[in-house]
């Protein structure tokens, strides 16, 4: 079975926006995103516009210094740090 995208979840400063398949702006294995600011902080949303592909970077590929910095408290409530991952995953779960 080939991997495919079945849902998308975007976090804003106050909540998660969730969408289940079929999802607009998804071509089965890629989500097209744009960074937007509307009267407040930046956030991501999907877009139909074509753009560049970005490599997926796995946690294990980050240098130890980067993992330590992300896991630390000095940069905020990072969703993929060891301390926050399960909680943030639960909040973003769309099903």
Question: Along the 95 residues of the chain, how does pLDDT read in single tens digits?
Answer: 676 777 777 776 666 666 665 567 676 677 788 888 777 777 777 788 878 887 778 888 989 998 887 776 665 566 666 777 788 788 877 77
Q: pLDDT value at position 35?
A: 82
What residues pair up with 48 in beta bridges, in sequence order? none
Helix (H) or strand (E) holding 43: strand 42-46
Q: pLDDT value at position 92?
A: 79
pTM over 0.75: no
Q: Distance (Å, rounded) from C-alpha 70 to C-alpha 68? A: 6
Q: pLDDT value at position 52?
A: 84
37, 19 contact by CB (below 8 A): no
Q: pLDDT value at position 63?
A: 93
What residues pair up with 31 in beta bridges, in sequence order? 26
Q: pLDDT value at position 75?
A: 59
């Amino acid at each position: 079975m080939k991997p495919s995208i079945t849902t998308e979840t975007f976090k804003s400063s106050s909540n998660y926006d969730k969408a289940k398949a079929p999802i607009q702006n998804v071509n089965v294995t890629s989500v097209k995103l744009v960074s937007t600011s509307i009267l407040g902080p930046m956030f991501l949303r999907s877009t139909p516009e074509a753009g560049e592909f970005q490599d997926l970077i796995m946690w294990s590929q980050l240098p130890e210094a980067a993992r330590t910095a992300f896991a630390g408290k000095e940069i905020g409530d990072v969703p993929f740090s060891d301390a926050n991952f399960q909680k943030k995953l639960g909040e973003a779960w769309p099903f």
